Structure formats: C-alpha cells, structure tokens
Structure 1
Amino acid sequence: MTAPAYGGPATGRSPGDSTVARAVVTGIGVVAPSGVGADAHWRTVLAGRRRTGPISLFDASGYPTRLGGEVADFDPSRYADNRALVQTDRWTHLGFAATALALADAGLPEQAPDPYAWAVTLASSSGGNLFGQRELQRLWSSPTRTVGAYQSIAWFYAASVGQLSIRHQAKGPCGVLVAESAGGLDSLAHAVRTVRRGASVVLAGATECPLSPYALACQLRSGLLSAETDPERAYGPFDAAASGYLPAEGGAVFVVEEWGHATARGARVYGEVTGWGATHDAAHTTAESAGDPQQYARAMRLALGRAGVEPADVDVVVPDALGVPRYDRSEAAALRSVFGGLAPPVTTHKSLTGRAHQGGPALDVATALLAFAHDTLPASAGPDTVAEGCELGFLRAARRPRHRLALVCARGFDGFNSALVVRGAPPSGTEQR
C-alpha cells in the first residue's frame, strides 16, 4: 500500500514543527451490535438499521429493562484459543476480536516485532460482569463454596489490557482508564501521549459487556435506563419521546501509530487525533443530575483549542446522546454554547446499537473515521421529533465533509466529560471499507 498525501498540524504546534511526534490511526477493529468488522458497522450506520432487541445473554424477563444491544452470532473461538477463553470474560473476548481485526486492518503482525515499542491503553467501566456473576453464584449456591482460579483476573477491570499485552507481546507502557463512558475517548488521548513518549504502536479504545443480572441491576439503580418494550421506540436521544438508554455490549479498538513508523511501512492512514479535552463536574450524580453543561462545553473548547481549529471548521459532531431528556437538554446547551450562533452539525447512531458505556464513544470515533474514509457524513438515526431544548443541526441526509474534522463527545457517570477532535485523511478513492 502507498500512504496517501496527508498533512495538517498535530496538537498545539505549527505545520512545520517536527519536534512533536504525530499519532495517526491505521487500523480499526469493530465488534458491536452493528456488526463484526468495520465493513459491517459502516453498512449498519449508512442503512440506519436498528440492532437492539430482547436481551438473550441471560433471562431478563423479570427486569424493567429487557432490551439491549448484543453482538449477534459472535464466535470468540475465531479470535482466541480455548485456554485464553476459559480464563477471561466475554468483555475480553470482544477485545480479543476487535484487536485482531484492528491489527489485520493496519497490516501489522499479531505479535510485536519490537515488544517495547508497542503499548496497550484501553478503557473499562466495570470489568468481567458475566464471568464474575457466574463465579459468585457458584460461591453462594454450591456446597463447595469456592470460586474458580481465574475469578480474580477475569473480573478485574484491567484484565483486557493485561491479556492483550500478553497475547500481542506489547511490553511498552500499558494501562487502563476508568471514567465510565468518557474513558473511551480518554484512551485515544492517552495513546497520543504514549506515542509522543516514544511508542511506535498503541492499541487503544474500549469494549464492554454490561449485560448480566448484576450489571443490569447496577444500571437500573441510576434510573437512566429505558423501560420501553418496543425496540423502535426504546432509545431515542434528543427525541420528544426519549425515556432513557438501552445497555449494549461491544465497542472498537484502534491501532494508533507514530506517523513516521506508519509512512515507513506504507500504511493506510484513516486520520489523526489532533485535540482532546477532559473536565469534571466535581459533583456526584444524583437522581436530579443532568451534568454540568459549562464543564462539558469546556472539554469541547479544550479539544478544539488544542487541535488549533474553530467550531466553524467542524464537519460533524458525534454527541454522547444519553437519551434521558434532562441530559439531552444539557448536552444540547453545551454544544450551542461552544458553536455560538451556528447550528452544530450532529449525527448519532446510538439508538441503533444501544449504549456500550466505554465502548460507545470508541465506536463513535470509528464511525467518524470511516465517514471520512468513505467521504460521506452519515445521516443521524433520529430524532424523529426533536425535543424542546434539543434543537441542533441533525444531519437528515448523508453529505460530503468539507474540512474533514469531527468532534466526538462523551460524558461519564459522576461527572466525567471528554471531547476528541479527529482529522480524517483524504479518501483513497480506490479502497473501500
């Protein structure tokens, strides 16, 4: 492959400044309700196909929320051997798959040729829920009163990072970020910092599997989940009929690569992470909370400022899109304050897949980068009727980008706010994903 002509400043420096390493995305691995692989995800987004439905990973008939987004027909044995699978949770299985797909997409080997030049930086909300549920049930229901030897590592929120580091021999700086949904963007920002500190390749992003009795009960306690039984109406961010979100599994993993390393091997470049911002509300989430729009807007401004771009330059905003009326109004207010008199061009597809916590924003970044690769900004999957206070520039039809800039936004439980600016590379015109 030949790397396309691609330029533009990296964060906080002039185009001619070569003193700061640039971090580009060369591989995308998607494992989500929208499909396995970037191709399948993109087709779902373009078609606006809803992939949520009755939860099947366990019997959810006794719960107020019985719908969710699952990865259909997922076969983890295609991506890891049985020894690794029995030691780990489905959340990590999804990570095995997304990482394998990302490395293949980037044209990189399964194992690092230079282990100390590769790193892993993922985000996680709650770890191995299904595995932990099974083991704790065995502890309290069986005469032996024991758990399996792998309970301590399979449930642990850093398990996927550790497993992927071992599997791919990535022995550089590795870590896990925990900021509820906001961490899915923080992981990519940290990947850029890791590249600037000397890494050649960083595996970044997030997968989640919050679909177990325990995990669902924890989410229900927040009062933010939808109890609607019609999949077509259950999750509608910014819609007048919005009633909460649907939980989902999956996410995306990216190969974030140092620019010189990528061009030296002729890699295909999807785009560059050029700016990011993270703030905190400094307040616990309560039953009346809606997030602090000022702190959320501040994260967006930080991301735009570090990218060296103006709000008017942004082709599309991919919002957090919680689907809870008061949070949707708060998010809309934050966006309007950043974009001033402009109507922010917004597209969201969470209603198609459900909300995968940390995995959701990673999936949004994949959508933005694929949109630039295909030279097409996809239409938003709703709202059908815009709720009062949520008036934004929702894309009602696909269109071409102008500046190839996307602002991806996310918020996490208990006050986390993150925003990320990605600049898409010019489309190759010869290769479609």
Structure 2
Amino acid sequence: MEADRYNTCENPQTQFVRWFREVAPYVHAFRGKTFVIAFDGDLIQYGALNTLVQDLSLLSALGIKLVLVHGSRPQVNDQLKLKGIYKIFDRGLMAPTDAAALECAKEAAGEIRLDIEASFSQGLPNTPMSHSKIKVISGNFVTARPVGVLDGVDFLHTGKVRKIDVEAINFAIEKVSSVVLLSPLGFSPTGDAFHLALEELATSTAVALRAEKLIFLSNSNGVPNDDGSIDTELARADADVLIKSNNLDGETCEFLKYASLAVKKGVARAHILSYSLDGSVLLEIFTHDGVGTMVVEDNLDDLRPATIDDVGAIISLIEPLETDGTLVPRPKSLIERDLEKFTVLEHDGVIYGCAALYMFPNEQMAELACLIVHPEWQSTGEGELLLRHIESRAKSFGARRIFALTTKTSHWFLKRGFVQCGIQDLPKEKQTSYNRSRNSLIFIKNIKHD
C-alpha cells in the first residue's frame, strides 16, 4: 500500500543504499544516450563553470554522451563596450553583426572555449571526479549561412545553421569517447565565419543528433506557475500557448520557444533550469520531478497495463513491503501469471507505481491489491490516481463494491471512502483464502454507477 517508508533516523549507509537504488533506473535508462547541454556566457560570469564541469564529467563517466554548446553574448557585449562600440546583442541574437562585432565574437568564443577546456583538464582535484580524464573536442562541426537581408536590414555576419556534421560529432562522442564542444560560430563552404545564436545552434544540434535531451541552463528557474512555483512538466502544446500569452519574461520565453521547437522536431525532452542551483543538471536528470521545466510532446506520466518487461520493476516495488510485512510475499511466477491484472505508473521510462485488480463476478465485487507508489513519489497524488483507475476498471467489469486488505495503511483507505468490515463481508472465495495469521484489516467501498 502507500505506506510511508521514509525514516528520518536512517543511518548514512542506509540512506546511501536507498538513494543509489532510486537513481539506478535513470542511469540504466540514459546510458549511451546523447544529451545536448547549452549555456550562455552569463553562467561563466556567475562562476558556475567548474561546478558544472564536475557534474558533466560524472554524466560522462556514467556513459552519457555529451555535446556542449556555449554562448558568449555578455562577453561579446563587454568586448564591444571596451572598444567604444555601443551595440548590444540581446537574447536570440537577431541583430546585425558587423566586422567589428564579429571579431569580438571570435575573441569571446576563443576565450570561453579555452576556459571550458581548462576546466575539463584540471583533474578535478578534491571532487567526486578526482583523477578523471575527460577529453574535449571542438572544431568546424557547424556549417552556417548568412541571415541575409530581412525587412530591408542587412544582417551582415549574423548567421543561421545550415548543417551539423552529425557523422563527425558521433565519431567523437562514440569512438573517441570525448565531450564535443560547439562555439556560437559557424563557417560557410567559402570560409566565411558567421555569428550564431546559442539557442538556434543548440536546438539544431539536438535535432540533428536525435538527442535524448536538450538542456538549457539559464538565469531562469524554469516556467513559473501562477503561484510562483515551477511547472516541472509541460506538454509541447501547452508550452506553445504560454509562449503566445506574453506572460513570460524574455529569457524564459526564448528558451521555451526553442525547447518546444526541439521537441516538435523529434528531441525526446527539452529542459530549462537554473545554473545558479548547485547540481541542477543532476537533480533534473536523476529525480522524478526535477528542479526545472521539462517540455515533452505529451505528458510523460503514463498509466498503462503491465507487460512482461515490467515484471522486474514490479518485484522491486513489492519486495521492500514484503520484507516489512506490509504485503504478502508473491513469487515471480505468481506475478507473471497475474500480469494482466496489473497496472503500472511510468515516468521517463521508470516504473514507480503499480496496482492489481482481482474480480469476483459472482458477488459483483473486486479486490484492489498491491497498490504501491515508490517512496520518492508518495504524497503527490499518485496513489489516488491508481485507486481511481482501479475503481474505474472494476466498474467497467460490473463490480458494485471494491475491497482491500491491509495491515498498516487503514487510515489511507478510511480517508478515501472505505469502511472497515469483517471476513463475512468478503466474497466466499476470498474468505476461504483469507490468511488469519496476518489478521489483515478489511476495507470495502461502494462503487457508484450512473
């Protein structure tokens, strides 16, 4: 059942083991996948580069293939000011880049690239990735074209992505096991250089590589809800509505626009999160709700019938509750036999909840069994979701009442309209198999029919 298995008095070893088991499914799911991680020069000005590199090195060590796309907008603006050129590049870069500005863009990109390479080369002393050797490869992976003349304005050396050299990047991240670093510059076949927007470059790269994730690190925490909290997951259609509403600040809106575009063009997930939060990339990837906003084609929470591939995940959910006596032990063969009775909750490829429905048609009753939500995701309404689903299924099979047996979560059922009853109220078949030594409490609820 949805019993709370957190123990605030856990010793450090127990906490570590529990945490490692919770993270393991994500490590398995993302190993070998490509992530494109984009950040502008303000992350470097904030002083977050070394911490980010530590986290990215950890991802690389876990088998995640990384392509980094850096911007240089604030550095270019600073260079222009030093030269007495009062021209400001805003988010999105849709402004002309003259020869002087292009030189500033080259200088800024070169300095940032060297800073990033130096961070990956320092051996990460006294960090979780001490003595790691992460190689960084950069080069002419991006072919660009000029924006040209728009509304009578010549954009000069401002460019757009024409082509990403997918074969070369894949060779670097797969065969050479390196991190690929892209600067916001592209080159034409004739050797001309063009200044590119970070957002467009990162999105084009993620789409071309068919990346699993596109992650924008920004000054924004993500897309805010009306109450000020962060909307952790947005379907692309909802993101597009928000973009048109003009209710978002400029930076968040710009990143959300490209996140939505990336998902529309086939990237599985696009994220917006803050670089100012220590470990934000790790928290976003390895926790259920994350710490920023994730854009997907459709919401990732999936309530669906269990398949044979889910047996292992169901067993891992059940075992801790069998150990502490909350559930009756169920051998793997029994779960496989009854698999069509199970429903699972899946998020981002991870099974984190399940429930089973057993019908007793002669008495028009149904049993709710094995209702489990992983401890990390309890208290978020997932148990209610499973209960409503099982009740709906039972109703569709003609059940008038639904019952559950429990030894530890009676209050949870009482709050949801169940009434405590006796053995004589169970279906006759269930009375026969009732385990009196467990002395489970019996709760029954009437199912409303229209």
TM bin, normalised by shorter chain, reads under 0.3
Higher Cα Rg: structure 1 or 2? 2
TM-score by structure 2 length?
A: 0.26
Pick the structure with more strand per residue. Answer: 2
Larger RCO: 1 or 2 (CA < 8 Å, sep 6+): 1
Pick the structure with more helix per residue. Answer: 2
